[in-house]
Chains A and B, each alone.
Chain A
């Protein structure tokens, strides 16, 4: 199947700093990518839908000024956690939507674990 990568796979940062996470579709173009957040023993929660060349669509309760999303090309979306705080520590997962004719599939990245000290 198609491959989606994330970088970095894990990151530790100090409170107040910003962290950028990259999501790349390696062998297909994705006009739409999704960003999820997963807390321990909980489900993936959709944070936002990232659309190539336009603004991201955020889910209710997600601060768009804190979680900046940029989807500048058909193979790359970035999530920047600005002024990170310990409560932002989580597992961030992206997915990329592949559309082939009438078939749509989401391919997931391996996730990025963020720890804010």
Chain B
């Protein structure tokens, strides 16, 4: 079945450092890929998405490119801020009309001043 694998955290960075959170997936067909972010005490929020190969999703300085050849969707940001501290989830949809999502285990990011 479909699955998503994320790097284990926590990832600890200093402010303004470069961020990469790895995500790879296994899927049949052509899934859409997502990154969600969960701030403390809040629900998951969609950060960015890509619906087909070579698409790049971007939002709030974060980027991820849908790489079909490596089945990856790594999240990157050039300069992190303390306010980016959160848990980041990579996910894919199985392509059905109901948009059922399969999530990775989440990666906690801690950014210190």
Interface residues of A (CB under 8 A from B): 1, 4, 6, 32, 34, 41-46, 49, 93, 95, 97, 104-111
The closest CB in chain B to the CB of A44 belongs to B103
Give the docked Cα–Cα distance between A6 and B4 (Å).
27
* Contact residues in B for A106 (Cβ distance below 8 Å): 46, 99, 101
The closest CB in chain A to the CB of B97 belongs to A104
Size of B's binding interface in residues, CB under 8 A:
18
The yes or no answer to B89 lying at the interface (CB within 8 A) is yes
Q: Which of B12-20, B36-44, B72-80 lies at the binding interface?
A: B36-44
**Residue pair B43, A44 in contact (C-beta under 8 Å):** no
* Contact residues in A for B22 (Cβ distance below 8 Å): none
Those of B34-92 within 8 Å (CB) of chain A:
36, 41-46, 89
Choose among B89, B98, B105 the residue that contacts A32 (Cβ–Cβ < 8 A).
B98
Other A-B pairs, 13, CB within 8 Å; known A97-B98, A97-B99, A110-B43: A4-B43, A34-B101, A43-B4, A43-B104, A43-B105, A44-B89, A45-B103, A49-B100, A104-B99, A109-B43, A110-B41, A110-B42, A111-B43
